[in-house]
Amino acid sequence: MSEEIRKGLVGVVADRTAISEIDPETSSLLYRGYAVEELAARCTFEEVAYLLWHGELPTRLQLLEMEGEGRAQRAMDERVRTAVDLLPTTAHPMEVLRTAVSVIGATDPYAGDRSSDYAKAVRLLSQIPPVIAYDQRRRRGLPVVPPRPDLGFVENFLHMTFGRVPAPVVVDAFRISLILYAEHSFNASTFTARVITSTLSDLYSAVVGAIGALKGPLHGGANEAVMDTLEEIGDASRTLAWLDETLAARRRVMGFGHRVYKKGDPRVPTMRAALGRLVEHYERHDVLDLYTSLERAMAERTGIAPNLDYPSGPAYHLMGFDTRLFTPLLVAARVTGWTAHVMEQAADNTLIRPLADYVGAEERHVAEHDG
Ligand SMILES: CC(=O)SCCNC(=O)CCNC(=O)[C@H](O)C(C)(C)COP(=O)(O)OP(=O)(O)OC[C@H]1O[C@@H](n2cnc3c(N)ncnc32)[C@H](O)[C@@H]1OP(=O)(O)O
Ligand SMILES: O=C([O-])CC(=O)C(=O)O
């Protein structure tokens, strides 16, 4: 049996999906048939969320309806705030968000009602940003900023975090990052959400589980680790020495490599261009020098290309987010893909339950003993 084992499910096709298509040969990514670069160039984040959930881009009226539902639910529920306040600021923001989503689910009287999964997805999309914004602000000792219903999702998210809407170039880079992060087929966190859904558990539980899976540094946690790396290197003149030391110690360089893309991540050029515009805006050429030096050194020493976490980490840093908030930002985007997958799994469900090849002790018996 052991020759059939594919550790890490490498190369295993676990099911069908109509949500996104990855082609590692051509390094392409389509959401519902649209190239992700095109969506990033032409769409709002709300339009992309609608596309992932419904399979088609919205008409003006459909978009207005979805935005109306979302904008009405942007304020943080007091019960969620109370739960967050109970957590120490030493808790990682992903732990805070995981707890908050659990509370959001536990306070929804229809949590177990499968027929309202779409409404729950819209609710989560609206309620995750205030938690992230509040968490950054409470760690800085700043007061809560109430949401603004007149603003789009992206502007409002930034407004709640920073108390103002930043320059258009910053808003645009943030919008692009959220679109690029929104969906990625059967990645570890999405697969986790599908496994949980397959047991007929509820959507909130699936998202809580997905947050747990995304937190790890081999997955979403890499975007914050990228920033730690760039800060550890400190200056482009130290990059090669740092990399040689890291590779000699057989440590991974975060933000590089990918389970599916071996020829490069198609999202990187779009996010790299947005990072370039941020660098110009903030006049932080030192960040780009560091970025480029590690990218070049990795190509030279290993031939391994960056993934989306590599440009998004420094982009979020320049925007003013605390490093530990980077992975929660990915949650704010990926919750669209996760919930689309929850609905797809639930619509044609089979319990996901693989087998294992047992390699433990032979059958044995407990010796008779007193007591
Ligand atoms: C949003 C996202 O989740 S994107 C992914 C974010 N994750 C990261 O950036 C973490 C760093 N990258 C990695 O650890 C890996 O590339 C993964 C986990 C993403 C993909 O891993 P896998 O497909 O399992 O590839 P695998 O781990 O087998 O790597 C193949 C070889 O490349 C090497 N390699 C892969 N990525 C890296 C890296 N980032 N740094 C150094 N070496 C690497 C491995 O050491 C391995 O070499 P070996 O065969 O000599 O042992
Ligand atoms: O697909 C994966 O393995 C990792 C992921 O979520 C992404 O690249 O966005």
Q: Output the DSSP codes for 223-242.
A: HHHHHHHHHHH-SGGGHHHH
**CA 110 to ligand 2 centroid distance, Å:** 31
Counting from 1 in the atom list of ligand 1, the atom nearest the Cα of 307 is 4
Q: Compute the distance between CA of residue 286 and CA of residue 356 in angstroms, rounded to an integer.
A: 50
DSSP state string for 249-281: TT---TTB--SS-SS--TTHHHHHHHHHHHHHH
Same fold? 16-216+325-347, 222-319? no
Chain segment 278-325, per-residue pLDDT in tens: 999 999 999 999 999 999 999 999 999 999 999 999 999 999 999 999
Q: Is the pLDDT of residue 76 over 80?
A: yes
In the chain, where the domains are located: 16-216+325-347, 222-319
Q: Which two tokens stand for residue 232?
A: 């550890």
- Per-residue pLDDT averaged across 35-59, rounded? 98
In the predicted model, is pLDDT for residue 34 greater than 70?
A: yes
Q: Which ligand is nearest to the CA of 9?
A: 1
- Residues with a CB atom less than 6 Å from ligand 2: 184, 187, 219, 258-260, 307-308
Structure confidence at residue 371 (pLDDT): 67
Residue in 258, 265, 317, 341 annotated catalytic:
258
Position 195 pLDDT exceeds 70: yes
Residue 16 has pLDDT above 90, yes or no: yes
What ligand 2 atom has the least distance to the C-alpha of 22? 1
What integer pLDDT is reported at residue 141 of this predicted model? 95
Atom 3 of ligand 2 has which residue's CA nearest to it? 187
Question: pTM, whole model, 2 decimals?
Answer: 0.97
Place of tokens 């990918």: 258
Average pLDDT over residues 164-192: 98
pLDDT at residue 1 above 60?
no
| Mean pLDDT confidence for 354-359 | 96
Q: Summarize pLDDT for 140-163 with one digit per residue, the tens.
A: 999 999 999 999 999 999 999 999
ipTM above 0.90, yes or no: yes
pLDDT level of residue 3 (50, 70, 90 thresholds): low
pLDDT of residue 369: 86
Dist. CA 268 → ligand 1 center (Å): 16
- Percent over 70 (pLDDT), the chain: 99
Identify whether 309 is a catalytic site residue: yes
How many C-alpha atoms does 208 have within 13 Å on its Cβ side? 17
Q: Give the distance (Å) from ligand 2 centre to CA of residue 335.
A: 13
Closest ligand relative to 189 C-alpha: 2
Q: How far is the CA of 215 from the centre of ligand 2 (A)?
A: 12
325/132 Cα distance (integer angstroms): 7
Look at residue 50 and tell me whether its pLDDT is greater than 80. Answer: yes
Residue type for position 109:
P
Q: Give residue 2's pLDDT.
A: 52
Asked about 219 being catalytic, the answer comes back as: yes
Statement: residue 370 has pLDDT above 80: no
Residue 330 CA, closest ligand 1 atom number: 1
**What ligand is nearest to the CA atom of residue 250?**
1
Cα-to-centroid distance, 254 and ligand 1 (Å): 8
Per the residue annotation, which of 219, 265, 317, 341 is the catalytic one? 219
Instruction: Report CA(257)–ligand 1 centroid distance (Å).
Output: 5
Q: Residue 29, SS3?
A: strand
Ligand 1 pocket, residues with Cβ under 6 angstroms: 8, 218-220, 222, 252-259, 302, 304, 307-309
The yes-or-no verdict on residue 257 having pLDDT over 90 is yes
On the question of pLDDT at 187 being above 70, the answer is: yes
Average pLDDT for 45-54: 98
CATH number for the domain formed by residue range(s) 16-216+325-347: 1.10.580.10
- CATH topology for 222-319 is Cytochrome p450-Terp; domain 2 (1.10.230)
> What's the confidence (pLDDT) of residue 86?
97
In the residue annotation, 258 being an active-site residue is answered as yes
Round the average pLDDT of the chain to a whole number and report it: 97
The 10s digit of each residue's pLDDT in 91-136 is 999 999 999 999 999 999 999 999 999 999 999 999 999 999 999 9
